Amino acid sequence: MAGNLNLEFVFNPESVAVAGVSLSKGYDGMAETYVKALLECKFNGPIYPINPKGGELKGLKVYPNVKDVPGSLDYVISCIPAAAVPQLIRDCAYKGVKVVQFFTSGFGENGTNEGMRLEAEVCALAKRGGVRLIGPNCMGVYSPRSGLSFAPDYPTESGSVSYICQSGGNAIYFIRYAAQRGVRFSKVISFGNAADINENELMEYFTDDPETGIIAAYIEGFKNGRRFSKAVRRAAAVKPVIVIKGGYTEAGARAAASHTGALAGSAKIWDGLVRQAGVIPVATLDELGDILVTFLYLPVPKGRRLAVLDVGGGAAVMATDAYVSAGLELPQLPEKLRQKARGLLDPDAAGLSVNNPFDLGGQYFNTLGTYPLMNMLLDEGVIDIIAFHLHLGINPPFPSMPREFAIAILDNAIRVYTETGRTMVVVIDQLTNTESWETAVACQERCKQAKIPVYFSVHGAAMALDRFISYHEKRRG
């Protein structure tokens, strides 16, 4: 459907109705969850639950029909059966609703003639009535500034990342996951079947949106590949664009077709577009989280020279392989600096090696021992980035390093970063039990407050650093 490319009304409606709420369940279904999410995320306008029987839900008056809502109505969330949707669209057109978002499924994504016929009918009714559609088969919009949300636990603070996500489940999970890592969103949209509003309009909108500094996307297929190519090129020319392409393999394409009815397209064509447009490709949601944290927290390094502070010979060897394979450099220090490094550390510490990576051995567990070494490395100008590895499962006396001990060791890195402002990353790994997971969360929170990017694997750190540096190298020409 052709429509207004200014989608501001999608992300900042002044009023919302939720059609399909129940007053008799002993639990919250999805319609009731939408209402709760709007309340908990402090939606900044009136909220109208809709049920033919009327009544009250969560302290709000329930209206029998969207036509009964007093005043104007901008945005309607549909949680009703698919067969009832055409009448809802007619009612919304009568009311002057701007956009309807469908949690409702049972349309083109099921691959049946009836589902595709129903989706076409709904689109035709919406077009005649001047109503824009999100979905069907999607979660809709999370916009912290307006308080629009589809989960009640999402942060109410806005950020600079906007996320275009064809999958509802990936949107639900990733907002929670990224929030724990310090990412805050400007806007998120789960758009499902893309029967109307699709990835092309959204990419165009976010390119021009002043509140969007980084565009992230999970996309399974394209409604118009030529238009998307043009849109993503234009977007990547002005801000970072990071994309997961779902349905990349033949089997994945079949899964995408049954999920959102998407036509996934050729992997070779996609690879070519990525290279030409300057898009940053990632393969998983974990990788997407890693690169977003990097863009949000890491100052741009001058180069690729990395100093790795580690403990354990095997861990140091594997770290070297991971970083070098990703295109980073681990320069060896001149003998003069190695001697200086030995002088800053306990030369009798078991396992000590002052090559790069620095295997600190027993000196690692001296909570003050690595502070002067990190300062020396930064002062000498022989490296561009310090990577500090916090292994939680490598201390022989403890199944997992005690939280207070781990934080005391980590504070070396935080203190150096706070005092110098130089480029630094932290890897927290070797999570062996419940205690280590809890310690990792506490340590990550400490780094987040200091604005140091944290990764939960050396491989993840290496991939993110390479992508981040490569992006800026290309920008510099």
User: pLDDT at position 350, please?
Assistant: 65
Around Cβ 250, how many Cβ atoms within 10 Å? 9
Q: How far apart are CA 211 and CA 272, in angstroms?
A: 29
CB 309 within 8 A of CB 383: no
Both tokens of 322, joined, read: 């991971």
Around Cβ 149, how many Cβ atoms within 10 Å? 28
User: pLDDT at position 272, please?
Assistant: 81
What type of residue is 292?
A: L
Secondary structure of residue 263 in the 3-state scheme: coil
Phi, psi of 208 (to 5 degrees): -95, -10
Degrees to nearest 5, angle at CA 123 with 174 and 7: 50
User: pLDDT at position 342, please?
Assistant: 83
Distances (CA, A) of 408 to 6, 240, 401, 430: 50, 35, 11, 18
Both tokens of 366, joined, read: 């001296």
Half-sphere exposure of 49 (CA within 13 A, CB side): 25
Angle between helices 199-208 and 225-236 (to 10 degrees): 20
SS3 content of the chain, % helix, strand, coil (to 5): 45, 15, 40
- Please indicate whether the domains covering 8-134 and 299-476 agree at the CATH topology level: yes
Where are the domains positioned within the chain? 8-134, 140-295, 299-476
DSSP 96: T
* DSSP-assigned letters across all residues of 152-218: TTS-SS--SEEEEES-HHHHHHHHHHHHHTT--EEEEEE-TT-SSS-HHHHHHHHHH-TT-SEEEEE
Which architecture, in CATH terms, is 140-295? 3-Layer(aba) Sandwich (3.40)
Q: How confident is the prediction along the chain (477 residues), in pLDDT tens digits per residue?
A: 333 348 999 999 999 999 999 998 878 999 999 999 999 999 999 999 999 999 999 999 999 999 999 999 999 999 999 999 999 999 999 999 999 999 999 998 888 999 999 999 999 999 999 999 999 999 999 999 999 999 999 999 999 999 999 999 999 999 999 999 999 999 999 999 999 999 999 999 999 999 999 999 999 888 888 899 999 999 999 999 999 998 655 655 555 555 455 444 566 777 788 888 899 999 999 999 999 999 999 999 999 999 999 988 899 999 999 999 999 999 998 898 888 888 887 766 666 788 899 988 777 777 677 888 888 888 888 999 999 999 999 888 888 999 999 999 999 899 999 998 889 999 999 999 999 999 999 999 999 999 999 999 999 999 999 999 999 999 987
Q: Which of 184, 256, 266 is nearest to 218 (CA)?
A: 256
CB 420 within 8 A of CB 375: yes
The domain 8-134 is placed in CATH, from the list 1.10.3720.10, 3.40.50.720, 3.10.300.10, 1.10.260.40, at 3.40.50.720
User: pLDDT at position 247, please?
Assistant: 60
CATH code that applies to domain 299-476: 3.40.50.261
| Largest distance between two CA atoms of the chain | 83
